[in-house]
Structure 1
Amino acid sequence: MVHFELDEREARDMRTALSIRLVGMREELVHTDNREYREYLKAAIERLEGVLRRLDAILAGLTSRP
């Protein structure tokens, strides 16, 4: 497992960049006919969506602090 630290602004920027990339990957998935590439994209999208969910949970915890 790999760990690295981001400050809150970096985490929000990373969330934005990841969300934008996922939109592009989903669009690419719709338009590709290559079966192997489609499977690669599906797996990569699932992994990145998991990262995005974790990042969202972390950011939600930061905003709920007193």
Structure 2
Amino acid sequence: MAKLQLELEQREATDVRTALSIRLVGMREELVHTDNREYRADLKAAIERLEVVLRRLDASLAGPTPAP
């Protein structure tokens, strides 16, 4: 899979993090209410991928970890 890199200003990254968090809440709510197994599986996979992106974004916003 090809990697895509995107540089964001601090404020932009914070805005993207907020938007992604809000979208994930909506997706989780949708997951609870769907009965279609295929759609549910696709939605669950998308949520898991976006949660990984959100964790990476959080780590990036936290900055480098100081060495012990």
Q: TM-score, normalised by structure 1?
A: 0.91
Q: Flag structure 2 segments of 5+ consecutive residues without an equivalent.
A: none
Partner in structure 2 of residue 17 of structure 1: 19
Partner in structure 2 of residue 3 of structure 1: 5
Percent identity (aligned): 78
Partner in structure 2 of residue 51 of structure 1: 53
Partner in structure 1 of residue 42 of structure 2: 40
Q: Name the Cα RMSD after superposition.
A: 1.3
Q: Flag structure 1 segments of 5+ consecutive residues without an equivalent.
A: none
Structure 2: distance between partners of 1:50 and 1:28: 19
Give the 4+ runs in structure 1 shifted more than 3 A: none
User: What is the CA-CA distance between 1:4 and the residue it aligns to?
Assistant: 1.1
Q: TM-score, normalised by structure 2?
A: 0.89
User: What is the CA-CA distance between 1:7 and the residue it aligns to?
Assistant: 0.4
Partner in structure 2 of residue 60 of structure 1: 62
User: What is the CA-CA distance between 1:11 and the residue it aligns to?
Assistant: 0.1
